[in-house]
Amino acid sequence: MARSRTPKFDASEVITNEIIRIIERGVLPWRKPWTAGGSSRPLRVGGEPYQGVNNFLLTMRTVMAGHSSPFWMTLPQANALDAKVRKGEKSSVVVYYGQSRRDAGDEDDRSDGDDRSEEARIFRFQKSYRVFNACQIEGLPDSFFPDPEPTPEHSPSEPIPHMQAFFDAIDITTVFTGTEAYYLPPVDKVFMPPITRFENPRNFYGVWAHELAHATKARHRLNRDYGLSRFGNTAYAREEIVALS
């Protein structure tokens, strides 16, 4: 009886599928006329920023999950800090690209009459590992949770009564938290920075209106779905045009 083989883990395929899921979930933040505050880049446990595709993926995961900390770490790193990942939390895959050198003197590289055996060989490789955001971990020092509300460089905006009343009457849930503005289809909610982060309250209502326009694409509203298979990479652009109209 032939033994079943477990498919080999392919980090590149996992990352590609994750990017596709991010595109399918909704629209990414489109502008920032507000004070973002804090670190906008994902950081390793030692404070070094992630690079390349890891920076992009962890930024998107931070936005989608609503994490308030920029720090990410592996399970052993969390344990070393006497901290514990909460039960049921899902890890995120990151990748590392590097190279190793095998000296010409290694026995496996020697062959009689082969001049190439005198040369060092360089091998490039890709490794993957899993990390958790600090918000998924209990028992970490306060330093992993920087102040998300820095003092803005402008006076905090105040609501405009008649505009606030108009938006409050819209039957779409809006959560005011974090530093990003976006509509999240799986939970059918709009996420917005607080009005105090905006220098001009009209910018606040303009961004809010833009994200509410994206929310109209839900099935129980306008059921507006272009579908990636039909329009390919233009789906995002078409959705932005609708929201700007």
One domain, residues 122 and 50: yes
Q: Taking the model in full, what pTM does it have?
A: 0.50
One domain, residues 166 and 135: no
The number of domains in the chain is: 2
Closest CA to 24 of 173, 232, 223: 232
Identify the pLDDT of residue 231.
Answer: 38
More confident residue, 37 or 155: 155
One domain, residues 43 and 126: yes
One domain, residues 163 and 129: no
One domain, residues 202 and 245: yes
One domain, residues 89 and 141: yes
Reported as a single tens digit per residue, the pLDDT across 13-34 is 776 676 666 666 554 544 456 6
Identify the pLDDT of residue 244.
Answer: 52
Under a CB-based contact definition with an 8 Å cutoff, are residues 197 and 34 in contact? yes
Closest CA to 130 of 75, 175, 171: 75
Residue 200 maps to a domain: yes
**In the predicted model, what is the mean pLDDT of residues 129-145?**
94
For the chain, how are helix, strand and coil distributed in percent, rounded to 5?
40, 20, 45
More confident residue, 85 or 102: 85
One domain, residues 88 and 115: yes
Identify the pLDDT of residue 82.
Answer: 96
**In the predicted model, what is the mean pLDDT of residues 111-132?**
69
One domain, residues 81 and 167: no
Range of the domain at 184: 154-245
123: phi then psi, degrees, rounded to nearest 5: -115, 125
Residue 86: pLDDT band (50, 70, 90) is: very high
Helix (H) or strand (E) holding 23: helix 11-25
Under a CB-based contact definition with an 8 Å cutoff, are residues 117 and 111 in contact? yes
Helix (H) or strand (E) holding 124: strand 121-133
One domain, residues 55 and 125: yes
